[in-house]
Amino acid sequence: MLKVYNTLSRDKEILKTRKRDFLELFVCGPTVYDFSHIGHARTYVAFDVIVRYLKEKGFDVFYLQNITDIDDKIIQRAKEKNMPPLKMARNFEREYFKDMKALKVNSVTKYARATDYIKEIIVQVKKLRAKSFAYQISDGVYYDIKKFKNYGELSLRTALQAEDAVSRIDDSKEKRNKGDFALWKLSRDGEPSWPSPWGPGRPGWHIEDTAISQKFFGYRYDMHGGAKDLIFPHHEAEIAQMEALSGKKPMVRYWLHTGFLTVGGQKMSKSLGNFIAIQDFLKKYSARLLRFLVLKTHYRSGLDYAESSLLQAERELARIDEFVDKLSSLRGFGLPQMSNLKISEFQTNFAEAMEDDFNTPKAMAVIFELIKQGNALIDQNLLSKTDAQNVVAFLKKIDRVFKVIFWPQKKSIPAVVLELAEEREKYRKDRNWPKADEIRERIARLGWQVEDTEAGPKLKKDMRSATL
H runs (alpha helix) in 57-117: 72-81, 85-102
Q: Does 298 bind ligand AMP (CB under 6 A)?
A: no
Q: Which of 268, 295, 341, 363 binds ligand AMP (CB under 6 A)?
A: 268
Distance CA 269, CA 459 (A): 34
Q: Does 269 bind ligand AMP (CB under 6 A)?
A: yes
Distance CA 63, CA 44 (A): 12
Distance CA 356, CA 110 (A): 27
Convert residues 158-177 into a mask of x (bound to ligand AMP by CB under 6 A) and - (unbound): --------------------
Q: With contact defined as beta carbons under 8 Å apart, do 169 and 205 qualify?
A: yes
Nearest 5 degrees, angle CA 5-CA 113-CA 207? 65
Distance CA 208, CA 218 (A): 14
**Nearer CB in complex with ligand AMP: 121/227:** 227
In the window 221-260, what residues touch ligand AMP (CB under 6 A)? 226-227, 229-230, 258, 260
Select the residue whose beta carbon is closest to ligand AMP and give its number.
Answer: 39
Q: Does 28 bind ligand AMP (CB under 6 A)?
A: yes
Q: Which of 23, 39, 211, 238 binds ligand AMP (CB under 6 A)?
A: 39
Closest separation in Å from C-beta 266 to ligand AMP: 9
Q: Which of 43, 241, 286, 373 binds ligand AMP (CB under 6 A)?
A: 43
Peptide bond into 233 cis (omega under 30): yes
Peptide bond into 408 cis (omega under 30): no
Closest separation in Å from C-beta 230 to ligand AMP: 5
What angle do helix axes 207-217 and 118-130 make, rounded to 10 degrees?
A: 100
Piece of 50-58, 77-85, 194-202, 266-274 that binds ligand AMP (CB under 6 A)? 266-274
Closest separation in Å from C-beta 29 to ligand AMP: 6
**Nearer CB in complex with ligand AMP: 30/250:** 30
Distance CA 133, CA 152 (A): 16
Q: Which of 6, 7, 17, 31 binds ligand AMP (CB under 6 A)?
A: 31
Distance CA 64, CA 406 (A): 27
Q: Which of 4, 40, 142, 245 binds ligand AMP (CB under 6 A)?
A: 40
Which residues make up the interface to ligand AMP (CB under 6 A)? 28, 30-31, 39-40, 42-43, 226-227, 229-230, 258, 260-261, 267-269
